[in-house]
């Protein structure tokens, strides 16, 4: 039995504002959209849940995938992406993405981004060197630096410490506004409504639904949950990519540091306690096999041996190369007393990337008029059942620029005045339930899943206690959104009775050709309804 969706406690608006476009989130997707909108003369408001520097984007180390080498081709980049997506990519959308990528990235160059000169990088699943780096292993920080500077120099209004809560729609179901909470130091929300005909969700993924994730604390599935409550179509939520090489720290919870895959591209090897390579003989690409393959091999090995973690051996790179190419990784390791040029790095898989999300096209259009979704919160058909490494920043920048261009040209559409309706209200979820839920998610909805484990997750979801936080506060908002993301994921995972891409079921160990379709969910009357079908034409 699938538990019903939990809605948020009622809120009372104490302030009002107006905008032509509200962009929710300040990662690569949201800031690209805002930069593209900046010259349009539109009144653009950007919401940042925390500081302008929050989100996954500034943490991205590996790179950004684009075709620049004459030996490489769009066809090859598209084909690698489609292979990784394990039968669920939308080929036309993938082709559009890889062709749009060079010009979108050139825009970042025009904004002043300094990409590393010299050879392009190689990452798992790519058949050519096409990964652009910056600052060695600091691509995200560099992109974010130039996007932030462009926004600060523009007339776009940035509201920091302001969190999107729920959509407001008009009587025809179109977006009419957004309820927003200004967050104070104690986590209390001062709630208001921004009247607007266009909301661009760029809120990132839902990694915090798991006990171990590379995603920062502010990535709590807010955009996915907000869209779900408003009745938008969501796609492929069961597909979460687990990164194989997340730094293992005993007893750690929440965000854990990532040890970049590029380290394996440069010669690093995953080994067991005896120093034996665990990927040799497992896959033709060895340590550079797709992430789901590596994560699964690791979990299998750990389950068989009873080990809590494995090791990354990067000693062969030597001190000089580690310091010049991987300064971020080296400083993360050193902060924990590990010297990667002489010692093995402890690692285990952790939740990393949400392949699914709000169903959208590459311009961000969703199934609700006036609601757009770009970047990791969106499911466009690019990543399908599994994301190819370094394609997410590419997609975030391309879709961000495209939705910005689209809304710059759109006929100015005044925010509709009432009658308006907001989504139903309920008790919300108590913040203290987060730990138990995240533990259940990591154990039963992680790298390997089965019906029994997923039913256990649904039972935990059913039993979570309602919040008595009235008025609504940030902790309740995030707990409720994580509950919703977990509910959607567990439901989609239990319904997908096969193994495909990064969704592995031990009770259905192979792909079922009859199920090679996106799974599309939406909420109706508080319950999840499902259909399967094509992604395009949101």
Ligand X SMILES: Cc1cc2nc3c(=O)[nH]c(=O)nc-3n(C[C@H](O)[C@H](O)[C@H](O)COP(=O)(O)OP(=O)(O)OC[C@H]3O[C@@H](n4cnc5c(N)ncnc54)[C@H](O)[C@@H]3O)c2cc1C
Number of residues that bind ligand X (CB under 6 A): 43
Residue 202 found at the interface with ligand X (CB under 6 A): yes
Q: In what order do the strands lie in the sheet with 15-18?
A: 15-18, 189-195, 175-183, 162-170, 420-422
Residue 55 found at the interface with ligand X (CB under 6 A): yes
Residue 200 found at the interface with ligand X (CB under 6 A): no
- To the nearest whole angstrom, how small is the minimum distance from the Cβ of residue 396 to ligand X? 4
- To the nearest whole angstrom, how small is the minimum distance from the Cβ of residue 246 to ligand X? 9
- To the nearest whole angstrom, how small is the minimum distance from the Cβ of residue 280 to ligand X? 25
Q: Which of 3, 204, 404, 453 binds ligand X (CB under 6 A)?
A: 204
Residue 384 found at the interface with ligand X (CB under 6 A): no
DSSP-derived letter for residue 63 is: -
Q: Which of 349, 375, 453, 518 binds ligand X (CB under 6 A)?
A: 375
Residues 274-303: x where in contact with ligand X by CB under 6 A, - otherwise, as a string: ------------------------------
Strands (E), 274-388: 310-313, 345-354, 357-359, 371-373, 378-379
Exactly one of 264, 291, 365, 449 is catalytic; which is it?
A: 291
Cβ(4)–Cβ(123) below 8 Å: no
Q: Which residue, 63 or 453, is less far from ligand X as judged by CB?
A: 63
In degrees, rounded to 5, the angle at the alpha carbon of residue 34 between the alpha carbons of residues 31 and 37 is 155
Cβ-based neighbours of 175, under 8 Å, separated by 6 or more: 167, 168, 169, 196, 197, 198, 199, 368, 369, 370, 371
Separation CA 102–CA 59 (nearest Å): 22
Residue 50 found at the interface with ligand X (CB under 6 A): yes
Q: Which of 59, 138, 347, 538 binds ligand X (CB under 6 A)?
A: 59
Q: Which of 3, 9, 25, 357 binds ligand X (CB under 6 A)?
A: 25
Residue 60 found at the interface with ligand X (CB under 6 A): yes
Chain-centre distance of CA 340, in angstroms?
28
Chain-centre distance of CA 356, in angstroms?
8
Q: Which of 211, 376, 381, 420 binds ligand X (CB under 6 A)?
A: 376
Nearest to 169 by CA among 424, 496, 430: 424
* Kind and range of the H or E run holding 433: none
Q: Which residue, 137 or 282, is less far from ligand X as judged by CB?
A: 137
Residue 166 found at the interface with ligand X (CB under 6 A): no
- Whether 291 is catalytic is yes
Q: Which of 116, 142, 166, 222 binds ligand X (CB under 6 A)?
A: 222
In the chain, the N- to C-terminal Cα span, in Å, equals 29
Nearest to 478 by CA among 223, 263, 248: 223
- To the nearest whole angstrom, how small is the minimum distance from the Cβ of residue 64 to ligand X? 6
Residue 81 found at the interface with ligand X (CB under 6 A): no
Q: Which of 57, 408, 484, 486 binds ligand X (CB under 6 A)?
A: 57
Chain-centre distance of CA 234, in angstroms?
14
Q: Which residue, 108 or 164, is less far from ligand X as judged by CB?
A: 164
**Phi and psi for 488 in degrees, rounded to 5?**
-65, -45
Residue 225 found at the interface with ligand X (CB under 6 A): no
C-alpha distances (whole Å) from 383 to each of 95, 232, 387, 399 are 12, 20, 5, 13
* Kind and range of the H or E run holding 509: none
Q: Which residue, 326 or 508, is less far from ligand X as judged by CB?
A: 326
Active-site positions read 291
Footprint of ligand X (CB under 6 A): 24-30, 47-50, 54-57, 59-64, 139-140, 163-164, 202-204, 214-215, 218-219, 222, 258, 353, 375-377, 390-393, 396
């Amino acid at each position: 039995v699938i538990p019903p969706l939990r809605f948020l406690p009622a809120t009372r608006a104490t302030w009002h504002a107006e905008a032509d476009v509200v962009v929710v989130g300040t990662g690569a997707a949201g800031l690209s959209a805002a930069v593209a909108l900046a010259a349009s003369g539109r009144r653009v408001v950007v919401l940042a849940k925390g500081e302008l520097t929050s989100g996954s984007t500034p943490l991205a180390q590996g790179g950004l995938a684009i075709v620049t080498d004459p030996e490489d081709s769009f066809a090859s980049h598209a084909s690698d992406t489609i292979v990784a997506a394990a039968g669920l990519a939308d080929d036309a959308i993938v082709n559009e993405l890889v062709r749009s990528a060079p010009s979108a990235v050139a825009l970042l160059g025009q904004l002043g981004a300094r990409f590393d000169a010299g050879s392009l990088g190689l990452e798992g699943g790519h058949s050519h060197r096409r990964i652009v780096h910056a600052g060695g292993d600091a691509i995200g920080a560099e992109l974010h630096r130039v996007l932030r500077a462009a926004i600060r120099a523009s007339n776009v209004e940035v509201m920091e410490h302001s969190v999107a809560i729920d959509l407001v729609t008009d009587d025809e179901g179109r977006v009419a506004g957004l309820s927003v909470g200004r967050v104070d130091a104690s986590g209390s929300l001062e709630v208001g409504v921004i009247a607007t005909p266009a909301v661009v969700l760029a809120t990132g993924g839902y990694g915090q639904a798991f006990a171990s994730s590379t995603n920062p604390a502010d990535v709590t599935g807010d955009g996915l949950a907000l869209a779900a409550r408003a009745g938008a179509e969501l796609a492929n939520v069961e597909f979460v990519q687990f990164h194989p090489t997340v730094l293992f720290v005993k007893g750690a919870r929440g965000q854990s540091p990532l040890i970049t895959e590029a380290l394996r591209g440069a010669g690093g090897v995953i080994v067991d306690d005896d120093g034996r390579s665990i990927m040799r003989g497992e896959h033709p690409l060895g340590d550079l096999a797709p992430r789901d393959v590596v994560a699964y091999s690791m979990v299998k090995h750990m389950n068989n041996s009873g080990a809590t973690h494995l090791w990354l051996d990067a000693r062969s790179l030597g001190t000089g190369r580690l310091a010049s190419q991987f300064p971020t990784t080296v400083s993360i390791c050193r902060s924990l007393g590990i010297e990667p040029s002489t010692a093995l790095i402890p690692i285990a898989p952790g939740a990393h990337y949400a392949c699914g999300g709000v169903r959208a096209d590459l311009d961000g259009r969703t199934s609700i008029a006036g609601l757009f979704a770009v970047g990791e919160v969106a499911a466009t058909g690019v990543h399908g059942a599994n994301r190819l490494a370094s394609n997410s920043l590419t997609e975030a920048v391309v879709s961000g620029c495209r939705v910005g261009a689209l809304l710059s040209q759109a006929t100015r559409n005044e925010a509709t005045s009432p009658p308006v309706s907001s989504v139903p209200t309920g008790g919300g979820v108590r913040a203290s339930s987060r730990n138990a839920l995240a533990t259940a998610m990591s154990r039963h909805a992680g790298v390997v899943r089965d019906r029994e484990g997923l039913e256990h997750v649904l039972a935990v979801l059913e039993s979570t206690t309602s919040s008595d936080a009235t008025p609504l506060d940030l902790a309740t908002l995030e707990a409720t959104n994580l509950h919703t993301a977990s509910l959607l994921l567990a439901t989609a995972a239990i319904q997908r009775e096969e193994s495909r891409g990064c969704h592995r079921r031990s009770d259905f160990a192979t792909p079922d050709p009859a199920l090679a379709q996106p799974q599309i969910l939406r909420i109706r009357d508080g319950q999840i309804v499902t259909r399967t079908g094509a992604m395009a034409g949101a």
